[in-house]
Amino acid sequence: MMNRPYNVLFLCTGNSARSVMAEALITTLGQGRFVGYSAGSHPTGTVNPFAIEMIAQTGYDLSQLRSKSWDEFALRDAPEMDFIITVCDNAAGEACPYWPGKPATAHWGYEDPAAVVGSDEEKRAAFHKVFQQIAARTRLFAELPLESLDALAIQRELKAIGNTATLAA
């Protein structure tokens, strides 16, 4: 058993919506067992206000939210990641930095709610849908008996979660 929480890095291109929501969800749903982080290959520099609206419901410390480069997590003094999960198709296809410690990796794709064009209510509905999808997969992940699984089983479970159909609540 680990003597620290598992570190989970969620990657996307802009780090403004999906990866940030996933960071908050794994941290809050993981109840101290996980610490979530997020980053982007080409961060926008801001967190989408609709993402902030969704995250506020979790009780996550909103002051922790910021759009940042994945380069921060490749530095020598960065936290060592146990899991790295891409949440958008662009980041899944990009060459990632070297991650020390051989973290388990997976791709959990979601539609980009920030790409929705329409009224604020339409945008809010898109964010709510994706937030619920991320929450469903995150719950499955948080319930895994990681301490009793070997590395191959963990990798298999992570990928299976990414293939799980996600239904909006």
List domains and CATH numbers for the chain: 6-162 (3.40.50.2300)
Residue 90: per-residue pLDDT: 55
DSSP state of 69: B
Residue 164: per-residue pLDDT: 83
The single residue of 87, 88, 134, 158 carrying the catalytic annotation is 88
Q: d(Cα 11, Cα 143) in Å, to the nearest integer?
A: 21
The single residue of 8, 9, 11, 12 carrying the catalytic annotation is 12
The single residue of 74, 78, 96, 125 carrying the catalytic annotation is 96
Taking the chain (169 residues) in consecutive chunks of 10 residues, what is each chunk's mean pLDDT? 86 94 97 95 94 96 94 89 86 59 90 94 97 97 95 95 71
Answer yes or no: 12 catalytic.
yes
pTM: 0.91
Answer yes or no: 150 catalytic.
no
Query: Whats the size of the chain, residue-wise?
Result: 169
Residue 74: per-residue pLDDT: 83
Residue 96: per-residue pLDDT: 60
Residue 166: per-residue pLDDT: 60
Residue 169: per-residue pLDDT: 43
